[in-house]
Amino acid sequence: APCCFMDPPPGADDLVVTCHRKFFHPEGDHFTLINIYNAFKKKCLYSTSDYNDEKWCHDYFLNYSALRKADIIRSELLDIIKHLELPISKPAFGSEENTLNIKKALLAGYFMQVARDIDGSGNYIMLTHKQVAQLYPFSIYCATKGKAGLPEWIVFHEFTISANNCIRTVSEISPEMFIQLAPQYYFCNLPPSESKEILQQVINDLSQTAKKKKQPKMSNRAEIYEECIAQQTEERCTIQ
């Protein structure tokens, strides 16, 4: 689906942030998008006309067409899941387990779009090609925490190359989660960097933890990866 945010008019940045603050979710921009979609569906449920729905979107600087498209895509995905007779979990958005599952799903699909704040001031370097970028100014992290509270590791949805490179739609992850979900070949082929060294240290720490628990020795990432897969249980499809 296209971006659901409208470009702010000149000089209206503070107003846009104020309007969007209603939907902010502390776990990141992806969760904020779910809040926006849920609010949109609730508005449509009690609305008497499409005009009212469009006006609501306009008042909050949201793209009505994009939200309608997202609703159509969601319905199509739900039809596919039902056709395949896959089990569907009950709605649980906001719970700790649901939050973790969403981040796992994001990272499983976007493991190549991970970046790390290299100096604690919002300069994010991407693991794949070492491009440096800043967070989009309207990200929840910029709007609520400032540079002092930005997450160190993030998964992002979009990267824009410009005079001021920026990454949009981001959510915080942990290096441990990355190690568990990113394919082994991807990690092995990452270019040398401080970030890769940190991830390697995470692997070493996991290996040491396994030894202390008297589990089978895991001396390399392949064995750790296999252990993570073995511990996975059957999970239901989650529709937000």
Tens of pLDDT, residue by residue over 91-141, are 788 889 899 999 999 999 999 999 999 998 899 999 998 889 999 988 999
Contacts for 25 with CB less than 8 Å, ≥ 6 apart: 31, 32, 34, 35, 140
- Summarised one tens digit per residue, pLDDT across range 62-71 is 999 999 999 9
pLDDT average, residue stretch 215-240: 57
Co-location of 218 and 115 in the same domain? yes
- For tokens 């790390």, what's the residue? 116
- Summarised one tens digit per residue, pLDDT across range 203-219 is 988 888 777 776 555 55
Taking the chain, what is the end-to-end CA distance rounded to the nearest angstrom?
Answer: 15
Contacts for 150 with CB less than 8 Å, ≥ 6 apart: 117, 120, 122, 135, 141, 142
User: Does the pLDDT value for residue 24 go beyond 90?
Assistant: yes
User: Does the pLDDT value for residue 226 go beyond 90?
Assistant: no
What is the SS3 string spanning 58-101?
HHCCECHHHHHHHHHHHHHHHHHHHHCCCCECCCCCCCHHHHHH
Query: Domain containing 211: what range?
Result: 111-231
Read off the pLDDT band of 233 (50, 70, 90).
very low
Co-location of 152 and 225 in the same domain? yes
Co-location of 118 and 206 in the same domain? yes
Residue 103 lies in a domain: no
Structure tokens at 41: 């569906």
Residue 213 lies in a domain: yes
How much is the CA Rg of the chain, to the nearest whole Å?
20
Co-location of 77 and 116 in the same domain? no
Task: List, in sequence order, every residue forming a beta bridge with 5; answer none if it has no partner.
Answer: 62
The model carries a pTM of 0.85
Co-location of 59 and 145 in the same domain? no
Domain count, the chain: 2
Residue 208 lies in a domain: yes
- pLDDT score of 228: 55
User: Does the pLDDT value for residue 235 go beyond 60?
Assistant: no
- pLDDT score of 144: 86
- pLDDT score of 50: 86
| Whole-number Å distance between alpha carbons of 24 and 82 | 31
CA 1 to chain centroid, in Å, comes to 15
Residue 118 lies in a domain: yes
pLDDT average, residue stretch 146-169: 87
Residue 99 lies in a domain: no
